[in-house]
Amino acid sequence: MSVTYWCERAWLPGGVAESVLVEVEGGRIAAIGHGEPGAAQRLAGLTVPGLANAHSHAFHRALRGATQTGAGDFWTWRTQMYEVAARLDPDTYLDLARAVYAEMALAGVTTVGEFHYLHHAPGGRPYQDPNVMGHALIQAARDAGLRVALLDTCYLTGGIGTPLSGAQERFGDGDAERWAARAEDLAAAYEGQPDVEIGAAIHSVRAVPPEQMATVAEFSHRHAAPLHAHVSEQRAENAACAERYAATPVEVLHEHGALGPRSTAVHATHLTDVDVELLGHSRTYVCMCPTTERDLADGIGPARALADRGARITLGSDSHAVIDLFEEARAVELDERLASERRGHWRAADLLAAATCDGQASLGFPDAGELVPGAWADLVSVRLDSVRTAGAGDLEAVVFAATAADVHSVVSGGRRVVAEGRHVLGDVGSMLAEAIGRVR
């Protein structure tokens, strides 16, 4: 089936162009031209490629608004997160994730990287199908119209030298070999399915002993799949790592083969100069999650220094305090201004590339994130006449003024999933309220 869209304006590799015709066949862009709309479906405003949410924990969405009372830090927030994790089962997780991914689609996201570690039943007992929770996440993404990189996460210890306890027991497989056996079964189930990428994740140096990391990295190498890891999100993590291993988390990952052009370091907030050089020299992606990092009082990571050394920046909404990739993108620049007391570290096009082509590539979809023939047909149209964007110009309006509420149309893999600001599944707010109510 072929369909043609006429974009009032579109961000192409050469810049913003007017009156762009995009012909779509079989989920891919077949051709791009210029001309009058004719019988084509019209897309007002500025159309950009599909956004990639490179770091998601779907069940954390249930915490929005519930963790904002009182004081505390990351560690007190984590206690509340475990309480939600303890209540989920495959059915409630499917419903919650479907609603969360639909919220992402409304915000222009067409690919999600799900950092998935809620594997087993309470007490760590495997379900009859040990991957049933992963299957639920993949089904949820498909229902919402998203591609998904399921980053199956190895999570073995509750802290450095500390066993899993409480809700954490649901995360663990015992050791990396048993994790790999389960992950291999999951990868086999989706082999050859182009909308699903089964990747791997080392949760953190807190949760995976160094001697277990090589097994996880080998899975990534064998499948040419993404490998992600939480890195230096908290100063306490760095201190514990230095005390036990006489090294930083980045150095530990480097020593055990976990950095490289398919790898992503998530957060990378508290880095040494050596860490920055290792990440840049290895061409590792770095996923910044500014709305979560500020919500949890993590700190501001050195995004500009990392990019200058060769690391490629991507974006994620992580705990989903907000799901708005435009907000994540501009926060990279705005946070840098706060830290440096200077403006103008990133061009709007660079920030949008982090949200599109670089994020898509980091999740194993290098053929997405650009409006070019042969790429996935992901078209996200943003209003330029809202109270936020009216009078502003093109990319700057989208990156520095627009919000998720300004997305009015989303075509994901050739499928129209959002039209006039509404998702094909219906009222996403009601879906979220019902799903969250069942687990909180």
The two structure tokens encoding residue 197: 């990428």
As beta bridge partners, residue 111 has 52, 147
Q: If 0-12 CB within 10 Å is exposed, 13-18 middle and 19+ buried, where does residue 123 land? A: exposed
**CB 199, CB 227: distance < 8 Å:** yes
State yes or no: is 267 an active-site residue: yes
3-state helix, strand and coil shares in percent for the chain, rounded to the nearest 5: 40, 25, 35
- DSSP class of 401: T
As beta bridge partners, residue 18 has 9
State yes or no: is 318 an active-site residue: yes
- State the greatest distance between any 2 C-alpha atoms of the chain, in Å, as a whole number: 67
Query: Residues 295, 318, 335, 378: which is the catalytic one?
Result: 318
Q: Where are the alpha helices (DSSP H) in 247-318?
A: 249-255, 273-281, 290-295, 303-308
**Angstrom distance (rounded) from CA 95 to CA 438:** 10
Among 360, 365, 296, 291, residue whose Cα is nearest residue 332: 291
Query: Residues 120, 254, 267, 320: which is the catalytic one?
Result: 267
Element (H, E) at 201: strand 196-202
Which of 20-30 are b and which e, b meaning 16 or more Cβ less than 10 Å from the residue's Cβ?
bbbbbeebbbb
The two structure tokens encoding residue 187: 């990868």
**CB 284, CB 261: distance < 8 Å:** yes
Give the residue numbers annotated as catalytic, written as ranges: 267, 318
